[in-house]
Amino acid sequence: MYSHAMSSTPERLIETTRELLWERGYVGTSPKAILQGAGVGQGSMYHHFTGKPDLALAAIRRTGEEMRATVDRLLDAGGSASARVEAYLLRERDVLRGCPVGRLTMDPDVLASEELRAPVDETIAYVRDRLAAVLQEGVDGGEFGAHVVPGDIAATIVATVQGGYVLARASGDTAAFDAGARGLLALLAPAPAAAPASAG
């Protein structure tokens, strides 16, 4: 968590709003809760932002930027395409809290606002496109079979991750998420070469 002493008022407001959106959703993120969490007065909030929607937009954009940076770090690392996809799937996550971006797709107030929904959609599309590019590298390099359609598999990875969060939160156990990630990796693994048939 950030330090109040080391961050500016706008930073404290944005970071507090990010946390509240993740935990409570848009409706539950009241201006009062934001001000209390950030340790600032009401005048400070409206000095830097026009209101709750403006602050929520800044917070959602920040969350999206952070997710994109994480994806870039993992997928731009050296190694094979399959290793980078595996690193993305198995990266450390706070699984039981859910995805800070994915959870916003279930928030009716976010979905009802084209402005708030846009950075959510853009972030998910960015992750899918980055994965598709790495998968295409794997197809081109012979790591994956020609039957692998990078865009389809990238969408499957995103769906598996988001579904894994839902299953884990429903059961209160991260094992469901881990099982989904392992299962997808097993499906992506090349089939072992068949042993040659013995003569005679």
- DSSP letters for 112-140: T-HHHHHHHHHHHHHHHHHHHHHHHHHHH
On whether the pTM is more than 0.85, the answer is yes
Tell me what pLDDT residue 110 has.
94
Query: What structural domains and CATH numbers belong to the chain?
Result: 4-188 (1.10.357.10)
Q: Is the CB of residue 150 less than 8 Å from the CB of residue 132?
A: yes
For residue 106, what is the DSSP state?
Answer: G
Tell me what pLDDT residue 7 has.
77
Gap between the Cα atoms of 33 and 20, Å rounded = 8
Tell me the pLDDT band of 41, cut-offs 50, 70 and 90.
confident
The pLDDT of residue 2 is above 90: no
Tell me the pLDDT band of 167, cut-offs 50, 70 and 90.
very high
Tell me what pLDDT residue 1 has.
44
The pLDDT of residue 197 is above 70: no
Residue in 143, 155, 151 with CA at minimum distance from that of residue 188 = 143
Tell me what pLDDT residue 196 has.
58
**Region 64-87 average pLDDT:** 96
Listed range (33-47, 59-73, 139-153) with the worst mean pLDDT: 33-47
Tell me the pLDDT band of 78, cut-offs 50, 70 and 90.
confident
Tell me the pLDDT band of 192, cut-offs 50, 70 and 90.
low
Tell me what pLDDT residue 42 has.
79
The pLDDT of residue 6 is above 70: no
Tell me what pLDDT residue 159 has.
96
46-75 pLDDT, tens digit each:
889 988 999 999 999 999 999 999 999 999
Tell me the pLDDT band of 44, cut-offs 50, 70 and 90.
confident
